[in-house]
Amino acid sequence: MARVALVTGGTRGIGHAISTALKNAGYRVAANYAGNDAAAQQFQVETGIPVFKWNVGDYAACEAGCAQVAKEVGPVDVLVNNAGITRDAMLHRMTLEQWKEVISTDLDSVFNMTRQVIDGMRARNFGRVINVSSINGRKGQMGQTNYSAAKAGMHGFTKALAFEGAAKGITANTIAPGYIATEMVRAVPKEVLDTKIIPQIPVGRLGESEEIARAVVFLAADSAGFINGACFDINGGHYMAT
């Protein structure tokens, strides 16, 4: 039987490419989404991948949603925590709501989701938890104290889980995409993108979602069992961590 992969935020942007790439690699895929019904329906029609609507920032919703996925698609072997939002503002203008929304969707979600599937992974002695973080959780970014904090938190979570899961065949890894050509990045003011960001990318362009998805497929494989607690920076050379 093909393994089951669940991708949060899996119907748009980078998540769309991840869901599709996993399906093409032979996985049975379930794509979670939170808000955009029209995009999700179009995605389902185009790809044949079933979609499941819930808010990953809500623990009870994750519990119910993961139970539904297990019932309709199967127990989750590969969890891709991809859902994320931005609410950019300089700290001196950031509201408590902007802080909380980002921490809830981008970081609480990682606990809320992984907690639902970890028992099953332990029982079956196999699991892949792949957390889609960001270059901005590695280097920081103006206007993103909330997002950088949440994305950096994902790295700590990943490294701790990498210890805990290892004896049970469960790996946990992070991918840190740079600036990828998605709606999220296109929402950055054009002048900032053109003058402050793209000139910092040695490759000289934004990345493509498919360039992230291929790394997810790589980490999800049964043969990737020795890659654990790693962070893959995929950013065109924008930030080169030592």
Q: Could you list the active site residues?
A: 147
Which residue of the chain is nearest ligand CAA when measured via CB?
143
* Nearest-approach distance from CB 149 to ligand CAA, in angstroms: 12
* Nearest-approach distance from CB 51 to ligand CAA, in angstroms: 23
* Nearest-approach distance from CB 206 to ligand CAA, in angstroms: 10
Distances (CA, A) of 186 to 13, 65, 209: 11, 30, 13
Angle, alpha carbons 170-210-241 (nearest 5°): 65
CB 193 within 8 A of CB 168: no
* Nearest-approach distance from CB 235 to ligand CAA, in angstroms: 8
Cα 8 to its chain centre, rounded Å, is 7
What pairing do the DSSP bridges indicate for beta strands 4-7 and 127-132? Answer: unpaired
Question: Interface residues with ligand CAA (CB under 6 A)?
Answer: 86, 88-90, 93, 134-136, 141-144, 147, 179, 184-185, 188-189, 192, 196-197
User: DSSP of 41-65, one letter per residue?
Assistant: HHHHHHH---EEE--TT-HHHHHHH
Nearer to ligand CAA, 86 or 228 (CB): 86
Nearer to ligand CAA, 65 or 143 (CB): 143
Rounded distance between C-alpha atoms, residue 77 and residue 67, angstroms: 14
Nearer to ligand CAA, 56 or 170 (CB): 56
Rounded distance between C-alpha atoms, residue 76 and residue 182, angstroms: 27
* Nearest-approach distance from CB 127 to ligand CAA, in angstroms: 25
Rounded distance between C-alpha atoms, residue 184 and residue 231, angstroms: 22
Rounded distance between C-alpha atoms, residue 61 and residue 140, angstroms: 31
- Residue 235 amino acid letter: N
Nearer to ligand CAA, 35 or 199 (CB): 199
Nearer to ligand CAA, 7 or 49 (CB): 7
Q: Tell me which DSSP letter residue 168 carries.
A: G
Rounded distance between C-alpha atoms, residue 135 and residue 151, angstroms: 8
